Amino acid sequence: MATNKKQVSEKIFSLLKGFGYEVKTFDVEGNNQVNPQESTRFVVDEPNIIVRLDLNKNSIVLNTSEDLSDHKIRPMIKELSKDYLLNFDYNVFGKTLKAKGELQDAEKNSEKEMADVMKEASLGKLSGSTKTSYQPLENVKIVLKHKKAVDEEVRGSRSRNIQNVFIQRGDERFKLPENNLAMARAMARHVQQGGEVYDSIGESIVNMAQDLTKLREFIVYVRRSNIVNEANAEYVALAVENINNIRETFKKLQGAKTYATAVENLSNQEKYNLEEDDSDIQSLFTETHFDSKVANVMDNLRTLNLKRKAFESHIVKAIENEQFNNAVDMLKETELLQFDTPNAKLGHQVSQLGFSAKDERLGSYLRDCGKRLTSGGRMSDFDYKAIKSSLLSAGNKPIQGEPMSYMESYEKFLDRFSVEF
């Protein structure tokens, strides 16, 4: 059994993910596990499912709420048990399975373990004198020089009135070109992980901080000048989106667990030839004169415009070629669930489509659209068209040899939201 444990765990996880479920994984001690192969407990909140690999009893135990007793997950888990010569046990909970009892110990252990990890790997608290603040991170520290004396009685005083920012490693001290604390923390993590202030990632961190300053100034200028209109609103939205993306990237670069992924994403960023952008963005923001705050972001907006066009082109082609395997079954299963609003239902369905897509970028995009729909976030015309195309494409796939008319209702359902989009 021990030699097959990792295979069984991975297959349980894959089976649940194949239905498009969000799966939480825990090991035998009740700790959160990132690696499914090391997990023995698999929890799905929506719908209510718990699968436990019980090594002591040499069995797989499936627990579901009553409304899932006839779900196809049951025979599939049973078949998996047979394949690995394991016993199969099935238990039905009440109508709603919250799994609180199952997760209490796991959550406590997980929180304690996370606290221990964060204590070792996180940035320390800001402290120092009235004119200088320090924030440590193992062998590296951030040094902030303030314009005004720090008032310890005022919360957050050490993160304000920053005149200069330095990264210090041993006897070396590097002055950063922007007085941005989030940038400094991202750089501190980068140096702590073995990077250099002036290597390619260090330069990307600085460039993002400089872009952030220019974009903020641009947004403030166009709004105060009241020159945002129907013709240029999409570029203002692009600028805001990039501001949020930079902030999120800085946040991920600061984290011990998210740093590596953030660096990989930065390293894999595409390069764009600005000469390929024939959009006359500059004229859309010109009134009586062309302000420097607009000029400063032109290259940034052109790059974002090219990036958006390339992304949208990829999504359109991906939808055309996507099979959306099991999507219709996943969508049918949403009828078992209760939703507070039509948007929440549609958001869940779009997320399910994302899990069924083989193209990773399309899948990630649809899951993001699903989250925005559920939370009432902004949706563009392109988002609406992409969602509609995806749902209709999934609905046109034959199920068990029969044409699928079930999806026709979704087209009408979507059309009800077209004005909001």
35-82 confidence digits (pLDDT tens): 888 888 888 888 888 888 877 678 888 888 777 777 888 888 988 888
Which of 86, 108, 69 has the alpha carbon at shortest distance from 2?
86
> What six digits make up the tokens of 137?
């991170």
The torsion angles phi and psi of 27, rounded to 5 degrees, stand at: -90, -175
Is the separation of the CB atoms in 235 and 313 below 8 Å?
no
* Contacts for 50-53: CB closer than 8 Å, 24+ residues apart: 50/97, 50/99, 50/102, 51/12, 51/16, 51/77, 53/5, 53/8, 53/9, 53/12
- Torsion angle of C-alpha atoms 311, 315, 318, 324, degrees rounded to 10: 140
Q: Are residues 261 and 133 in the same domain?
A: yes
> Quick one: pLDDT at residue 335?
63
Q: Are residues 160 and 254 in the same domain?
A: yes
Q: Are residues 342 and 272 in the same domain?
A: no
> Quick one: pLDDT at residue 93?
62
Domain for residue 352, yes or no?
yes
Domain for residue 76, yes or no?
yes
Is the pTM of the predicted complex or chain greater than 0.85?
A: no
Our count of domains for the chain comes to: 3
> Quick one: pLDDT at residue 418?
42
Q: Are residues 326 and 297 in the same domain?
A: no
> Quick one: pLDDT at residue 232?
82
> What six digits make up the tokens of 158?
């050490």
C-alpha distances in angstroms, 329 versus 286, 288, 349, 353, 395? 52, 58, 11, 10, 10
Q: Are residues 293 and 388 in the same domain?
A: no
Q: Are residues 168 and 286 in the same domain?
A: yes
Last residue of a domain, one of 301, 334, 363: 301
Q: Are residues 281 and 337 in the same domain?
A: no
Q: Are residues 234 and 294 in the same domain?
A: yes
> Quick one: pLDDT at residue 395?
62
Q: Are residues 270 and 144 in the same domain?
A: yes
Last residue of a domain, one of 267, 301, 335: 301
DSSP 310-378: HHHHHHHHHHHH---TTHHHHHHHGGGS--SSHHHHHHHHHHHHHHH-SSHHHHHHHHHHHHHHHHT--
Which of 338, 123, 378 has the alpha carbon at shortest distance from 241?
378
In the predicted model, is pLDDT for residue 359 greater than 80? yes
> Quick one: pLDDT at residue 331?
66
| Span of 45-49, 215-219, 325-329, 403-407 with lowest mean pLDDT | 403-407
Burial of 92 (0-12, 13-18, 19+ CB in 10 A): middle
Determine the Cα–Cα distance for residues 271 and 257; give it in Å rounded to an integer: 27
Q: How confident is the model at residue 334 (pLDDT cuts 50, 70, 90)?
A: low
| Span of 9-13, 37-41, 88-92, 261-265 with lowest mean pLDDT | 88-92
Domain for residue 307, yes or no?
no
In the predicted model, is pLDDT for residue 134 greater than 90? yes
> What six digits make up the tokens of 351?
């997320």
Return the higher-pLDDT residue of 90 and 106. Answer: 90
Average pLDDT, the chain: 79
Q: Are residues 92 and 8 in the same domain?
A: yes
Q: Are residues 223 and 334 in the same domain?
A: no
The torsion angles phi and psi of 178, rounded to 5 degrees, stand at: -125, 140
Domain for residue 420, yes or no?
no
Identify the domain containing residue 26 by its residue range.
Answer: 2-103
Q: What is the tens place of the pLDDT at every residue in 291-307?
A: 777 778 888 888 888 88
Q: How confident is the model at residue 122 (pLDDT cuts 50, 70, 90)?
A: confident
Q: Are residues 270 and 373 in the same domain?
A: no
Is the separation of the CB atoms in 62 and 89 below 8 Å?
yes
Q: How confident is the model at residue 253 (pLDDT cuts 50, 70, 90)?
A: very high
> Quick one: pLDDT at residue 110?
43
Cα 182 → chain centroid: 19
Return the higher-pLDDT residue of 365 and 101. Answer: 365
Q: How confident is the model at residue 330 (pLDDT cuts 50, 70, 90)?
A: low
> What six digits make up the tokens of 310?
């390339």
In the predicted model, is pLDDT for residue 131 greater than 90? yes
The mean per-residue pLDDT over the stretch 315-324 comes to: 89
